[in-house]
Every structure is written in structure tokens, then in C-alpha cells.
Amino acid sequence: MTSRYQHPAHPGPPRITVRAAMGQLRVVSVWQAFGRCAAHAQRRTVHGKRKKGLEEMTVTFESISLAELAKITRGLNALPWVSAASMRVATGAIFLERDRS
């Protein structure tokens, strides 16, 4: 079965990236924030950026509305341990990062 995001009009599936300070990324909490949408996750990567002192988790989704992804991203940004959460869609990045002021 071919992903609808492989079509030229949809060059890539939507994804959410969550960043936290080194040692602070709570993977289970991220999955809990996805709620019922976790079933639509296709790929995930977790890695650290030591020079920047960050850990990062990216999850790619299939068959999920962009409105739902935006809602999840806003919820992740509300968590105190999250440095930033953003979503990327076929047309580019949409950053819904919380205000740190």
C-alpha cells in the first residue's frame, strides 16, 4: 500500500518533534500526549545533541488531521520539561513553540 504522502502533491508525511534539555526527555509522556493518535505513528527517532545540550524525539504520522497534530503540539509545549515542540507538514515547518518570556 502506498502512502498518500508519497504523491508529488504531498512530498512527506507530517511529523512532530519534541525537544528537551539533555536527560529531561520523557518519552512515555510524549506518547501519552499523542493519545489515540499514537496508533497512527509510523516512524520515530530519538537522539541527543550534546553540543546543544538537547534531546530530540521525532514521530512521523499517517492518516491524521493537521488540526489534531496542532492540538497535540500545543499540549506538548504546555509541559514544563519541554524546551520546544514543533510540527512539520508537506508545505514546511509550523512552529508552535511556547513563549519563554
C-alpha cell at 54: 538537547
Q: Quote the Cα angle for 29-16-44, to 5°.
A: 75
Res 63: pLDDT: 79
Alpha-carbon gap, residue 12 to 94, rounded angstroms? 14
Ordered by where they begin, the domains of the chain are 11-95 (3.30.70.260)
pLDDT digits (tens, 9 = 90+) for 1-38: 334 444 444 457 899 999 999 999 999 999 999 999 99
76: exposed, middle or buried (C-beta count within 10 Å: 0-12, 13-18, 19+)?
A: buried
Please give the model's pTM, rounded to 2 decimal places: 0.76
Q: Could you give phi then psi for residue 6, rounded to 5 degrees?
A: -85, -5
pLDDT tens digits along 28-64: 999 999 999 999 999 999 989 888 899 999 999 987 8
Confidence of residue 72 (pLDDT cuts 50, 70, 90): very high
